[in-house]
Amino acid sequence: MRVTVGIVLCLLLGLGGLVYFFIVDGRVPQSTDFNPSIADIRRLANAPSEERPSAIEVEFLAEDRLPFLGLQAGLDLRGATMARSAFRLKSNWGDTIIDVGMDRYVAALFKTGEKFDDTSLARIGGAMVTARRIVVTHEHPDHLGYLPRSKSLDQLIPKLRLTREQIEATAQYMEDGRVPEAFRGVDPVPSKGFTSVAPGVVLIPAPGHTPGSVLFYVHMADGREVLFVGDIVWTMSNIQDETGRSRLVQGVLMQTSEDRPKTYQVLRWLISFMDQNPDVLVVPSHDDVYLRKLIASGRLVKGFGPLQP
């Protein structure tokens, strides 16, 4: 009997250890080697105010419902909505698109994007044609997948500012599995250092979530500062609770495995950055509740359309 109890206890302890390691543990390191110079970034973003972005629009292309533990390590089973979004920076210089979403083919291929909104996709497609600049935070399908499949691709090529990793990733969204020929002439943005991609908009390489992950710092026309963080966090509570995604999500459930140490290094920097710069608006791609709060407060405008007088 004692032997049986001992075996059961060992099995329970082992199972508990596995649950903790793969699902519960999301501790962020206390220090980081990822330390981009915000002073240098701000200098690079210094442009005439009339050329810098004056407003930020957001499109909700689709969404996915999942337990909260899919967004943040832990055992929280309450339901959460993961928005699939794209952003447009309105500017007299010309509009800048940050992330372009995916079409229905890509959504079905990667089994993502419930409640897909075709009218939203049409607005994104039209905005890409009229934009002066197009960039993406990283190469996952819900951020990049629509771009290589656009029927207006030849018109879009001169507007693109993509890293080499992002360009090479376009192959997975094509039926023939090849990078579209139109991309052959695109000069990649450097994967190291900072790059001004539009007046007031600076690209900051931040590999980890994917090899081509980047952040975008934006100096608005009215002086506000905004940081687009892509998928470094999926929910703002990753920052508030100092807790990242679980190993189960990072290594098994994601479309491509995430580099946990590098991603957590960027997350630690982001936590410290927000603490030191509380007035900077951080914009994640997928936190549906938070993005809608930003719309309600007037800091984001819902939908790609003409600004209201």
Residue-wise pLDDT tens digits, 197-223: 999 999 999 999 999 999 999 999 999
297 burial level (CB within 10 Å; 0-12, 13-18, 19+): exposed
Residue-wise pLDDT tens digits, 248-306: 999 988 878 899 999 999 999 999 999 999 999 999 999 999 999 999 999 999 999 86
At 8 the pLDDT is 64
Residue-wise pLDDT tens digits, 169-185: 999 999 999 999 999 88
State how far the Cα of 206 lies from the Cα of 283, in Å rounded to an integer.
15
pLDDT band at 95 (very low <50, low <70, confident <90, very high): very high
Q: pTM score, two decimals?
A: 0.94
pLDDT over 70, % of the chain: 95
Q: What Å distances lie between residue 286 and 80, 81, 204, CA to CA?
A: 11, 8, 19
At 308 the pLDDT is 42
Residue-wise pLDDT tens digits, 119-140: 999 999 999 999 999 999 999 9
Domain ranges of the chain: 49-302
| Closest to 220 (Cα-Cα) out of 307, 116, 92 | 92
Query: How many CB atoms neighbour CB 108 within 10 A?
Result: 12
* pLDDT of 118 higher than 70: yes
Residue-wise pLDDT tens digits, 64-89: 999 999 999 999 999 999 999 999 99
Q: In whole angstroms, how large is the CA radius of gyration of the chain?
A: 20
pLDDT band at 309 (very low <50, low <70, confident <90, very high): very low
State how far the Cα of 171 lies from the Cα of 144, in Å rounded to an integer.
11
Of residues 13 and 229, which shows the higher confidence score?
Answer: 229
Long-range CB contacts (< 8 A, 24+ apart) of 184-191?
Answer: 185/157, 186/157, 186/160, 186/162, 188/162, 188/163, 188/164, 189/161, 189/162, 189/163, 190/163, 191/163, 191/164, 191/165
State how far the Cα of 238 lies from the Cα of 71, in Å rounded to an integer.
8
At 3 the pLDDT is 62
Task: Output the DSSP codes for 82-148.
Answer: EEEEEEEEE-SS--EEE-----HHHHHHTT--BS--HHHHHHHHHHHHH-SEEE-S-SSHHHHTTTT
- The CATH homologous superfamily to which domain 49-302 belongs is Ribonuclease Z/Hydroxyacylglutathione hydrolase-like (3.60.15.10)
